[in-house]
Chain A
């Protein structure tokens, strides 16, 4: 009886979760997919996005996401290696950890305000891809650190002991034995971060601006797809184009996740085993 209840609860909640997903994605696709066309992807918008496509916005999205990841990924992964493999349990390290964890909790609106006041105004980068990239990198840094660290933790201690006893140094052990075991975890972190950036609106609005032209320089203002969709919908410019943008965004995420899944399985199949 207890068993039945237990499994019933698990099935119920799991199906609820999946249903929520299907309903939301399905709804967006239903409202948006029919408005996606080749022209929508390749043309520049006109009348503020009421007509035309979203080509510069797609480029802007990739640009900001790329810059953000380029800044955050090296720092995040190395920091995780430090925390998981090197740091000793001192007071300083504990303080650093607490602070870093705190970064995860800082609401995006505050990151946005900070990014605006610091990168845009104080450092004089203006509304730009750079300001946005720096701001979003603050947001995704803790995600990267946490996911990499979790992955590092799953590597059995015996691997390290084996490598060290064979005469490898700590660093050699870390990079040749431990890190290769958790590529998949790191990749998951990268994908999660990418999702965070692509889905972010508040920070982008405050730091990247929202210009519609094609961004070239890292100092150009642009907008990402989520900001574009927000403006389209919030200002009542075009529900159709807003949903088309949202649908395309979901499709892009699907492709990114799919790729990450495939890569993850090919290179990191032995994760945690």
Chain B
């Protein structure tokens, strides 16, 4: 027993030292080798085994995972790791060289362009306006959406529904879905000084994922929310916007206004393994997977 305690203490200290030593090595390795291969496989010597790391928007994550799976079936030498974290995390991960691709569920902001040496539009996604199934209303205008989300209108009767208080559900600040929705409806806009403003009403319920918004809208009478079109199910009712039904066809044709892009961005010196994965996504085969996943092909 005694020996075990002494040993374990020594072993732990040794482990810490080794870890720090390895860090120093791997850190210096990385600065020399900014390319992708071997970011997470330690010694990236063997040319056959390549690891591609994708990080970022959780909305894009399921799609990335499906694409990765299909690609790895044909290219067993390539390992693709898909991580979440959010669009901002995707940018940071590329900047800090811990990921090859950053996934975004919104347009790239101008201040982020320095990070992105290249960007790939891999898919498009409509944003559906959903209400509780018990809601009578079936059509809404963009102007009404804006008034609901800014708090000018607080009762369904004011937009043609029954007499009930509206429970407004939104996404968290900075969500790709929220900013796309906000821009297209005017909830995000300029104030009298020309400053970019988010006019969303303070008392709106905030949920930070597609699933949570769906669940909340499904369970809460008189509620309204917005989610990725690809993830809508029959637990909620989808409203027509300006008389147009939200569907792949109407998004492609441009009749349905509320949509946003799914992007991959990468830093300079993209590795070959990563590049051929990007090419696969943009190919007919890759875009077919995009469609299968319920999103809209980029081309």
| Contacts from A to B (Cβ < 8 Å) | 46-48, 71, 74-75, 77-78, 81, 120-121, 123-128, 130, 171-172, 175-176, 179-180, 205-206, 209-213, 217, 219-221, 231, 233-237
Contact = CB atoms under 8 A, between A and B. Distances in A.
B41 A121 contact: no
A205 B210 CA distance: 17
A74 B98 contact: no
Contacts of A179: 1
Q: Most chain-A Cβ atoms within 10 A of its Cβ — which of B15, B53, B81, B214?
A: B81
Given A78-B5, A121-B96, A221-B40, A213 B79 contact: yes
21 contacts: A47-B62, A47-B66, A48-B61, A74-B9, A81-B5, A124-B30, A125-B23, A126-B53, A127-B81, A127-B83, A127-B98, A210-B61, A210-B82, A211-B83, A212-B65, A213-B81, A219-B40, A233-B211, A234-B211, A236-B210, A236-B231
Chain A to chain B: the 7 pairs with minimum beta-carbon distance, closest first: A211-B81, A74-B8, A234-B209, A236-B211, A48-B65, A209-B83, A48-B62
Given A74-B11, A220-B40, A124 B2 contact: no
A127 B93 CA distance: 10
B78 to A, nearest CB: 11
Contacts of A127: 40, 53, 55, 81, 83, 98
Interface of B: 1-2, 5, 8-9, 11-12, 15, 19-20, 23, 26-27, 30, 39-42, 53, 55, 58-59, 61-62, 65-66, 69, 79-85, 96, 98, 208-212, 214, 227, 231, 233
Contacts of A221: 40, 53, 81, 83
Contacts of A176: 1
Contact of A219 (B30, B41, B59): B41
Contacts of A234: 58, 208-212
Contacts of B42: 217, 219
A25 B253 CA distance: 48
Given A48-B66, A213-B81, A236 B61 contact: no
Contacts, number: 114
Given A48-B66, A75-B12, A126 B2 contact: no
Contacts of A220: 40-41, 81
A240 to B, nearest CB: 12
A77 B62 CA distance: 41
Contacts of B8: 74, 78
A218 B166 CA distance: 50
A231 B61 CA distance: 9
Given A123-B27, A175-B5, A205-B84, A235 B69 contact: no
B53 A231 contact: no
Contacts of A211: 81-83
A235 B12 contact: no
B209 A126 contact: no
Contacts of B227: 236
Contacts of A236: 209-211, 214, 227, 231, 233
Contacts of A71: 12, 15
Contacts of B9: 74-75, 78
A213 B73 CA distance: 12
Contact of A231 (B1, B23, B84): B84
A217 B26 CA distance: 15
Contacts of B39: 126
B210 A235 contact: yes
A82 to B, nearest CB: 10
B58 A235 contact: yes
A205 B82 CA distance: 12
Contacts of A210: 61, 82-84
A233 B211 CA distance: 6
A176 B2 CA distance: 8
Nearest to B73: A46
B85 A205 contact: yes
B95 to A, nearest CB: 10
A124 B58 contact: no
A111 to B, nearest CB: 16
Nearest to B79: A213
Nearest to A50: B62
A235 B40 contact: no
A48 B62 CA distance: 6
Contacts of B20: 123
B230 to A, nearest CB: 9
A246 to B, nearest CB: 14
Contacts of B69: 46-47
B294 to A, nearest CB: 11
A8 B245 CA distance: 59
Contacts of A121: 96, 98
Contacts of A212: 65, 82
Nearest to A46: B69
Nearest to A221: B81
A231 B58 contact: yes
B81 A235 contact: no
